[in-house]
Amino acid sequence: MNRPSSLALLGTAAVTLLVPALAGAADYHHVHITASAPSEAVGWYEEHLDCQPVADRPDTANCDGVELSFMVQPTMGSTQGTGVNHIGFSYPDVAAKMAELEAVGVRGSGVRMQRFPDGATYRDMPGLFKLGFVFDPWGTRIELVEDPENLGFHHVHLSATNPADTLAFYRDHFGGEPASLKGQLDGLRFGDVWLLVDQHEAGIPATTDGRAIDHIAFVVSDLDAEAATLTRGGVTFTEAPVVPPGARTTAKRALLVGPDNVKVAIVEPDWAGVVEERGEDVATDTGPYTVPRTPWGDPDLQAVWTSNSAHGIPLERPADANDIGALTAEEAEARRERGTLGSIWGYEREWRDTTLGYVKTAPSTQVAMIIDPPDGRIPPMTDEAQAAAAARGRVNTSGVGMLAAGPEELSLFVRCITQGVPGIYMPGIYNNGLQIVQGPGYVAIQNEMIHETRVVPTEPRPSIGSDITSWLGQPQGRWEGDTLVVETSHFNGRAPFRGSSANLRLTERFARISDTVLEYQFTVNDPTVWTRPWTGMFRFDGDDEQYELVEYACHEGNYGMTNILSGARANERAAEAAR
């Protein structure tokens, strides 16, 4: 499967081929694929399609001599329906490869299968080869074919209103050898890589600009001269030859629109992509600040806040990050993307509030939430708590793999009851909204997920009896300067946080440190469980302009509960019938 090293691919994913073309001057250069986190995209193609990272270019993978480079930009959707429908890879046994990817599934890595109407993941096309389709997590459609004569990166497949005219455009302007793949598909050969074209189903294909495959590209030895030739031939450039900002080399690039809204780049031979700027961690950009006041004189924390930027921060400091003060922007971006890929089984990335490129705020560079103890890890448990945890570990209380007899055997989250505190504020993949409303003597804190509201008194009140407990405990607030301090006790112990008991005493601190940043600290003190208290911290971002809390009708829409219980009963009936 080895090819000459001159083959290359660039871009949001770029495919690069270097072969003789127009007047011997142009070679096919790359397909450009959009990805939210380039380093994670490189890892995905390395893990699933046998590509290899390219040294000194963390946004680029080499796929058997063809380079795929990945660039961050807003993604407007899949490749389907555009002028570049998909890219293809060839394997000696497609049935085995599709079975391998199906076993991985979407959970953990985001391999999505496109099944045929009969449910099969591949089919045998007589006279051609076996083929199947998958999608990468960023919307690129990928065809896997069984073509033993040409293994590895196999083709770029266009969609056109007039396939013959489209092939003529690329042949006349960029070269390529006209050929027929196994006598069934007309195309152009650029070395070992095919450029194929299918008839678009209806109308004109959508533009590739901003889609999962953003553009394809060709390389020329003298870009200025070739651009002049193409201009005389009637080609209009949307970007004249120039060295783009952030380019790794002094090689120029030009852009034009080819047939069927396909974005095309032309580059010089030393082209090595563009280093993309990353957004700043807005949560760390704070200085001296005067907190606004309510009409009655209290610090004003009122706003709609979200913890989207904090999504991905682990509670505890990772073992390999002991000496790291903060992540780089690229590392934070990659961490966020791993979180998205790891949970893509539940909802596609388009449904995620925290998907890179959708949310306005950059991922936080904070290494871990725990700031005390200094090592960033939860303190050891007491001997009694360890014994209790070991006893619980011998009993399956998670519901996973169980045939639940009723809702009581399922988690509080599945039952739409609560996530407890501080669990309700922990950032997740979506619904990270928080709204604070104040009145004299009270602060109301409404959480979006499961739609819970805590009403916190800020004036002293009589103590309640120890026998009066609740899911979220009894909070008592006070102002320490500009910080709202909330002491909560009297938990019922049925919504524990990290194994806490009914003896938990939780201290929370809400401090506005800029117009758009709210810092949240929580101290967990439960001497029956841990040998010492421990404290975590993360930040919320203000978003009054765009974000709005709407009712999270968890009970009303909890079809999962019905399906879990009905599925359990169905499994019981099947097991009984099999006896």
Question: Which segments within 147-295 are labelled E, that is strand?
Answer: 152-160, 177-181, 185-190, 193-199, 213-220, 237-242, 253-257, 263-267
Q: What is the pLDDT of residues 168-184, one digit of tens each?
A: 999 988 888 899 999 88
Q: What is the pLDDT of residues 323-377, one digit of tens each?
A: 889 999 889 988 988 887 776 655 566 667 787 777 778 899 999 999 999 999 9
Residues 301, 576: Cα–Cα separation, whole Å: 58
Q: Taking the CB of residue 317, how many other CB atoms lie within 10 A of it?
A: 19
Residues 86, 154: Cα–Cα separation, whole Å: 11
- How many helical (H) and strand (E) elements, i.e. helices and strands, does the chain have? 7, 27
The pair of structure tokens assigned to 115 is 């099944």
Examine the pLDDT at 116 and tell me if it is beyond 90.
yes
Examine the pLDDT at 394 and tell me if it is beyond 60.
no
Residue 363 belongs to some domain of the structure: no
Q: How confident is the model at residue 20 (pLDDT cuts 50, 70, 90)?
A: very low
The answer on 217 and 119 residing in a single domain is: yes
Instruction: Name the average pLDDT for the chain.
Output: 87
The pair of structure tokens assigned to 264 is 């095309």
For residues 159 and 152, the answer to whether their CB atoms sit within 8 Å is no
Question: Which segments within 107-192 are labelled E, that is strand?
Answer: 112-114, 122-124, 130-135, 141-145, 152-160, 177-181, 185-190
Q: What percent of the chain has pLDDT over 70?
A: 89
The answer on 315 and 208 residing in a single domain is: no
| 3-state SS, one letter per residue, for 453-518 | EEEEECCCCCCCCCCCCECCCEEEEEEECCEEEEEEECECCCCCCCCCCCCCEEEEEEEEEECCEE
Examine the pLDDT at 463 and tell me if it is beyond 50.
yes
- Which of the two residues, 393 and 577, has the higher pLDDT score? 577
The answer on 49 and 159 residing in a single domain is: yes
- Which of the two residues, 246 and 358, has the higher pLDDT score? 246
- Which of the two residues, 464 and 317, has the higher pLDDT score? 317
Residue 155 belongs to some domain of the structure: yes
Residue 160 belongs to some domain of the structure: yes
The answer on 467 and 318 residing in a single domain is: yes
Residue 213 belongs to some domain of the structure: yes
Give me the mean pLDDT over the 489-507 stretch.
Answer: 95
Residue 275 belongs to some domain of the structure: no
The answer on 257 and 396 residing in a single domain is: no
Residue 127 belongs to some domain of the structure: yes
The answer on 148 and 83 residing in a single domain is: yes
The answer on 118 and 65 residing in a single domain is: yes
Q: What angle do CA 446, 365, 46 make, to 5 degrees?
A: 115
Instruction: Enter the pTM of the model.
Output: 0.80
**What per-residue confidence (pLDDT) applies to 278?**
62
- Residues of the domain holding 241: 22-267
**What per-residue confidence (pLDDT) applies to 87?**
95
For residues 65 and 88, the answer to whether their CB atoms sit within 8 Å is no
Examine the pLDDT at 125 and tell me if it is beyond 60.
yes
**What per-residue confidence (pLDDT) applies to 492?**
94
The answer on 393 and 257 residing in a single domain is: no
For residues 217 and 267, the answer to whether their CB atoms sit within 8 Å is yes
Examine the pLDDT at 401 and tell me if it is beyond 70.
no
Q: Flag the least confident range among 112-126, 401-415, 500-514.
A: 401-415
Residue type, 207: T
- Tracing tokens 């563009």 back to the chain, one arrives at 274
Q: What is the pLDDT of residues 413-444, one digit of tens each?
A: 889 899 999 999 999 888 999 999 999 999 99
Examine the pLDDT at 238 and tell me if it is beyond 90.
yes
**What is the side-by-side order of every strand in the sheet holding 52-54?**
52-54, 57-63, 66-71, 26-34, 213-220, 263-267, 253-257, 237-242
Question: Which segments within 291-447 are labelled E, that is strand?
Answer: 303-306, 370-372, 433-439, 442-447
For residues 200 and 260, the answer to whether their CB atoms sit within 8 Å is yes
**What per-residue confidence (pLDDT) applies to 107?**
59
Residue 115 belongs to some domain of the structure: yes
Give me the mean pLDDT over the 449-456 stretch.
Answer: 92
The answer on 248 and 307 residing in a single domain is: no
Residues 355, 277: Cα–Cα separation, whole Å: 18
**What per-residue confidence (pLDDT) applies to 12?**
43
Q: What angle do CA 342, 348, 350 make, to 5 degrees?
A: 120
Residue 8 belongs to some domain of the structure: no
- Which of the two residues, 14 and 557, has the higher pLDDT score? 557
Q: What percent of the chain has pLDDT over 90?
A: 57
**What per-residue confidence (pLDDT) applies to 105?**
72
Where among 232, 249, 267 does a domain terminate? 267
- Which of the two residues, 115 and 396, has the higher pLDDT score? 115
**For the chain, what is the domain count?**
2
Residue in 265, 227, 229 with CA at minimum distance from that of residue 247: 265
Sign of CA dihedral 321, 322, 324, 327: positive
- Which of the two residues, 11 and 462, has the higher pLDDT score? 462
**What per-residue confidence (pLDDT) applies to 191?**
83
Residue 124 sits in a domain of what CATH number? Answer: 3.10.180.10
The answer on 177 and 211 residing in a single domain is: yes
**What per-residue confidence (pLDDT) applies to 275?**
87
The answer on 233 and 130 residing in a single domain is: yes
The answer on 174 and 86 residing in a single domain is: yes
Examine the pLDDT at 307 and tell me if it is beyond 80.
yes
Q: What is the pLDDT of residues 528-559, one digit of tens each?
A: 999 999 999 999 999 888 888 888 888 887 88
Output b/e per residue, 152-161; b: 16+ Cβ within 10 A.
bbbbbbbbbb
- Which of the two residues, 466 and 39, has the higher pLDDT score? 39
Q: What is the pLDDT of residues 54-67, one digit of tens each?
A: 988 899 998 988 88
Examine the pLDDT at 35 and tell me if it is beyond 90.
no
